[in-house]
Structure 1
Amino acid sequence: MKENNQTHLNSTQVYRTKILVETLKRHSSVHRDALIKEICANETSKITLRTLQRDIKSLNENYGIIIKLNRNTSSYSLDDEKSATIDSFLSHIEILATAELIRSNFNETNNALAYIEFENKATISATPNFKTILEAIHQTLPISFEHYSFYHLKEENYTLKPYFLKQYQNRWYLVGETEKGYRTFGIDRLKNITIGTKKFKQKTEEAMDKFRNVVGLNYVDHELQKVILSFHVSQRPYVESLQLHHSQKVIDIDSKETFNIELLIHPNFEFKQQVLKYGSLVKVVEPKWLAKEIRNEIKKSLDNYN
């Protein structure tokens, strides 16, 4: 993503861009007329082909989202391989759209916030660190900071090569590398951040690859596992709309009582927590060692009530 000379989307462009990318994500190819029609269906005014072309150019130049034109069919498609992470971009656009909705309602009523309850203040308290960390990532410079450990209940000093920021369960985390390997830190618990002067070799893509096959933040470096989970059918809309992992796919769709999914992941602590939160509504089918671990955790929980 380019930082210099990047244009900011206005409110109309936010909604238009959101629909454009979401439509192309749903379909392998969309004719330009159908694409314009889809965008106009959600707009108060029509847009022209020139406007569509400008939006596509802006997505490419400012956000790394590449949309290809097939001149023979006059159809557009997303270039998934060459584009920046599309889901991350859509999350960014969703935040902008929500902020614009709140702003417009606040201007109209002066009381919009009376009807909105935010989850917690963790994300807000992390905001001051964002700019410093992103600057260090962009310039490939190390950072030093104090971090409060929830495990050790004390502050510790670290020097880190910062690679990328990752959001998980409404908190922002910094992923980087210390002398002891890859680490993640909650950025709302970082203090006294300073940027170093000695540049390091950028390894953001390599770091992202290592975390791509885990749920959450705990990176484990062993063979990928095929995990099969069997849910009560009532959980299907929830599991499908809020996936446990991007590798998730539905299997055994003919059953009327269960809903089974398959994932290809490194099962870690966070994944086990996600499974356990479904209680009796889920069963680990494969691998057997994971099913045994989940069963043992449930037994420990039951022992707490004896």
Structure 2
Amino acid sequence: MKKLRYYFLLLNFIKKGAYPTREVLLEYLQGYDIEISERTLYRAIKELKTDFGVEVKLDVKRKGYFIPLRYLDETNMVLNCITSLVLNDVLANSQKERVAVSPYIEFEDKVGVVPIELIQVLFQAMIKNYKTTIKYHSQYSNSVEEHLISPLFFKQHHGVWFLVGKEGRDLKCFEMERVVEVIKSKERFKENIERIRAHYSEIIGLHLAQTELQTIVLSFDKYYKNYLESIPLHHSQELTMEEDGARFKVNLKVRPNEDLKQIILRFGKSVKVEQPMALREEIIGELRRAIEVHV
């Protein structure tokens, strides 16, 4: 786990763009009780490329290290994926040794634990466009199934990490904690990943929607304001207090889908759909059907 710590610290520090020198990097790690040699530092930088697909380069003129722009997406994914693992280790050992915890907690999202050895294989497959066979423990059949997929990217939802991939013509999401094994094949794939990623960024949750991108306005009881500020429903979320101060509005720019409806229903009487009217009618219909079940 020590190796993951300095992977995390190195990426997070170099990503800031200050072109740290070799000496600065070693001194920075020492500040967090990590003593490594120059040789180990060079090996770590090399392993970031081979194991995670993130290239760290030396700028000869500035005599410092940097991450090229084309690797920033991979860098962010690596940091997100290993944050919880590093944090858990730091907290577990904080009673035994002096450890500065704060630099390990820089993400607002609450991330779930991801099997790091599988992440390494999947990153390499994603970057080099190799199809992979994953052995997946299905919660429905309670058995291990094999899926040959084109691994595209990772998506976080409710603190759980999912692998988004294409199996045949179908886009599917696999919960990473249920992936038992990953086998990289020699078969290549070609997909418009940015288009697929953009579509996922316009929804809440995991269920793709064929609906139009719309402005959703929800009215909440004021007591949920702090909660929704700390855990936004979507990255497009905007909050405004109503004039009487008893309620506040949440504006979202998303494609309505099943996940959005379930979130609205979860808040019960504390939320009201202001617009669009079609979504309000769908929620009313769901509530009526729920009443019929209990009558």
Shorter-chain TM-score range: 0.5 to 0.7
Deviations 1:13-59 (A, max 9, x none): 58x859x97xxxxxxxxxxxxxxxxxxxxx99xxxxxxxxxxxxxxx
Give percent identity, aligned residues only. Answer: 23
The answer on 1:281 being equivalent to 2:281 is no
Return closer, same or farther for 1:144/1:93 CA change in 2, 3 Å cut-off: closer
Structure 1 residue 198, shift from structure 2 partner = 2.0
Structure 1 residue 157, shift from structure 2 partner = 4.0
Question: How many aligned residue pairs are there?
Answer: 236
Deviations 1:60-116 (A, max 9, x none): x99799xxxxxxxxxxxxxx999549986774685366346414414249xxxxxxx
The answer on 1:295 being equivalent to 2:284 is yes
Corresponding residue number in structure 2 for 1:132: 121
TM-score, with structure 1 as normaliser: 0.62
User: Separation in 2 of the partners of 1:201 and 1:150?
Assistant: 30
Structure 1 residue 192, shift from structure 2 partner = 4.8
180, 190, 199: which one pairs with 2:188? 199
Q: Residue 294 of structure 1 aligns to which amino acid in structure 2?
A: I
Return closer, same or farther for 1:81/1:146 CA change in 2, 3 Å cut-off: closer
User: Separation in 1 of the partners of 2:8 and 2:206?
Assistant: 35
User: Separation in 1 of the partners of 2:274 and 2:149?
Assistant: 40
Aligned pairs for 1:5-44 (under 5 A) are: 10=6, 13=9, 17=13
Structure 1 residues 170-179 or 99-108, which shifts more?
A: 99-108
Structure 1 residue 235, shift from structure 2 partner = 0.7
Whether the 8 Å contact between 2:4 and 2:82 is mirrored in structure 1 is no
The answer on 1:219 being equivalent to 2:208 is yes
Q: Residue 244 of structure 1 aligns to which amino acid in structure 2?
A: L
| 3-state DSSP of counterpart to 1:165 | strand
User: Separation in 1 of the partners of 2:181 and 2:93?
Assistant: 36
User: Separation in 2 of the partners of 1:155 and 1:84?
Assistant: 31
74, 83, 107: which one pairs with 2:96? 107
| 3-state DSSP of counterpart to 2:155 | strand
Whether the 8 Å contact between 1:11 and 1:97 is mirrored in structure 2 is no
Structure 1: gaps spanning 5 or more residues: 1-6, 22-42, 45-60, 66-79, 110-121
Q: Residue 288 of structure 1 aligns to which amino acid in structure 2?
A: M
Corresponding residue number in structure 2 for 1:208: 197
Return closer, same or farther for 1:292/1:181 CA change in 2, 3 Å cut-off: same
Return closer, same or farther for 1:83/1:227 CA change in 2, 3 Å cut-off: same
User: Separation in 2 of the partners of 1:192 and 1:98?
Assistant: 24
226, 233, 236: which one pairs with 1:244? 233
User: Separation in 2 of the partners of 1:85 and 1:259?
Assistant: 37
Whether the 8 Å contact between 2:151 and 2:165 is mirrored in structure 1 is yes
Return closer, same or farther for 1:123/1:90 CA change in 2, 3 Å cut-off: closer
Corresponding residue number in structure 2 for 1:233: 222
Deviations 1:123-170 (A, max 9, x none): 46x555323322321221001234454456666543211111112123
| 3-state DSSP of counterpart to 1:275 | helix
Corresponding residue number in structure 2 for 1:4: none
Whether the 8 Å contact between 1:64 and 1:84 is mirrored in structure 2 is no
Return closer, same or farther for 1:64/1:297 CA change in 2, 3 Å cut-off: farther
TM-score, with structure 2 as normaliser: 0.64
User: Separation in 2 of the partners of 1:95 and 1:180?
Assistant: 33
Q: Residue 150 of structure 2 aligns to which amino acid in structure 1?
A: K
User: Separation in 2 of the partners of 1:149 and 1:256?
Assistant: 47
